[in-house]
Amino acid sequence: MNVFERLIAVVSPDAAAKRAHARWTLEQINGLTREYEAAKRGRRTDGWRTRPTSANMEIGPALGLLRDRSRDMVRNNPYAARSKDVWVANAVGKGIVPRAAQQAMDVFKRWSDACDADGRYDFYGLQGLVSGTEYEAGEVLVRFRTRRVSDGLPVPLQIQVLEPDHLDTSKTEDLRNGNIVIQGVEFDRLGRRVAYWLFPTHPGDATPFSRRSHTSKRVSANEVMHIFEARRPGQVRGVPTLAPVLLRLRDLDEYEDAELLRKKIEACFAAFVTQPEGPGKSPLTGTEKDAQGRLVESLEPGIIKYLKPGQEVTFGAPHAVGGHAEYHRVKAHEIAAGSRVTYQQMTGDMSQANYSSMRGGRLEFQAVLERYQRNVMIHQFCRPAWSAFNEMGIVAGALRETERPEWTAPKPKPVDPLKDAMSDLTRIRTGTETLLDAAAENGRDPATLLEDIAEVAGMIDKLGLVLDSDPRRVAKSGAAQPDLLKEDT
């Protein structure tokens, strides 16, 4: 105890003990805090401003500007545009395909061709549109649009992809029924999403119809898919993927523009003339003058010119800037890391790549991609879309029972096709993977593939051919299968 606490102890021993214990606890906490360098206050952390805000408090004021700047970069920056294309091509490719009962798949194939409310894509094309919008804007909205049976669709349902601008970000309030609205998303008392407040048309549209879209309307959550990747618990809205590297992208653009401007300025100065006696005749061409009386300086191939004593001509020589390529490469690596693609994928620069480095980068990229495919594309888009299709199909009589398909994402393009093919063959022969799994991974419908194989086999048998590629006739080693030998004898 210190002197003050001893004086208190004379009057109230309990109060003095509690004060001493609280002081000791505080000292221990401060001591533990100082063990973390990032928690210390001093020269190294001066200017480091942080706030203990929630994800929604951080995202709300910044989301609109982040989204606009991300779109601007995708429109005008080649690295941003390439990153988006690479991500969508690998995340979706030919499509994330379902596997279900044959009757359901037959109906789904016909519905897939007509499912887009805008009439531009099939179901797999919409996957690419959803993934690309989510990458660029951080989130995407998909609405279910029920149709009349008389419209002639295989299933009276279509889906419409909307940009997240339709969601009223400014609407955050408590409702009279006890629900709350956070940035346009309405939650009930249990924290479940029950509705979305959407503008009828895009608020950034300049058409006459947009004049009617200033007021958002409530749409039940059963009619909307809100797709984004949450990075923090409780996060209500999505953030553009390029958010961490937007400043770096712009800085690199400005650096390249400044370097180009410097080279243009240097190239403008062909020669510098020194005249100790003052302005007079041009040491390059003589006394030629233009209509304004200005000397005309020009150079021609093979010219020989004698200068007066003291006159001197110095030619401009643009200087190369050392380290330009290295700086650009380092910044490109940083941008690629924040864009969730590899440096080689983003830039196309293979000068420092080899098989091992490309394969290692590919494995890391694939791990990130698989998590996105499972948690975002399949769980938030494919499964809800199938559920709505299945439900409406049963109501319309196109389907007989509820189906829950397995979804297979496209297989990544191999660095070494031969090694990957042998790996697939080994997994199939050992039973760790089926032929149907391999077909789905390669973007083929398993049932269609088996039908094609049976058709080709029938044609081969009809013509009496024996092909080395036919495992029924020729073993992997190249020897004839035993059944074929018995037929020959």
Domain boundaries, the chain: 3-45, 57-259+323-413
58-113 per-position pLDDT tens digit: 999 999 999 999 999 999 999 999 999 999 999 999 899 998 998 999 999 999 99
DSSP string computed for 309-339: TT-EEEE--PPPPTTHHHHHHHHHHHHHHHH
Question: Is 71:137 a contact under the CB 8 Å cutoff?
Answer: yes
Tokens 């049963």 belong to 394
In contact, 331 and 252? CB cutoff 8 Å = yes
pLDDT at 180: 96
User: Nearest 5 degrees, angle CA 284-CA 285-CA 289?
Assistant: 125
Residue of 188, 192, 190 whose CA lies nearest to 180 = 188
Per-residue pLDDT for the chain (489 aa), expressed as one digit of tens each? 566 666 666 677 777 778 777 777 766 666 555 567 777 777 777 888 888 889 999 999 999 999 999 999 999 999 999 999 999 999 999 899 998 998 999 999 999 999 999 999 999 999 999 999 999 999 999 999 999 989 999 999 999 999 999 999 999 999 999 999 999 999 999 999 999 999 998 888 876 655 556 789 999 999 999 999 999 999 999 999 999 999 999 999 999 888 888 888 777 766 666 766 665 555 555 555 555 666 556 666 666 666 667 777 777 666 666 778 888 999 999 999 999 999 999 998 888 888 778 778 888 899 999 999 999 999 999 999 999 999 999 999 999 888 899 998 888 777 677 777 787 788 888 888 888 777 777 767 777 778 888 888 888 888 888 777 777 777 766 666 666 555 555
pLDDT at 306: 64
- Which of 86, 126, 94, 118 has the alpha carbon at shortest distance from 225? 126
Tokens of 91: 């995340």
pLDDT of residue 359: 77
How far apart (Å, rounded) are the C-alpha atoms in residues 420 and 431? 17
Q: Which pLDDT score, from 0 to 100, does residue 304 have?
A: 63
Considering only CA atoms, give the Rg of the chain.
35
User: What is the 8-class DSSP label of residue 37?
Assistant: G
For residue 403, give Cα distances in angstroms to 52, 105, 389, 394, 395.
Answer: 45, 10, 10, 10, 14
Assess contact for 92 and 377: CB atoms under 8 A: yes
C-alpha distances in angstroms, 299 versus 207, 216, 270, 279, 290? 57, 69, 10, 19, 16
What is the pLDDT, as a whole number, of residue 266?
A: 74
Amino acid identity, position 206? A
For the sheet with 140-146, list strands across it.
157-162, 140-146, 224-227
Q: Is the CB of residue 231 less than 8 Å from the CB of residue 55?
A: yes
The per-residue pLDDT for 45 is: 78
Calculate the alpha carbon distances from 383 to 106, 174, 225, 390 in Å: 18, 31, 11, 10
CA distance 331 to 337: 10
CB under 8 Å to 296, separation ≥6 — which residues? 282, 285, 288, 289, 290
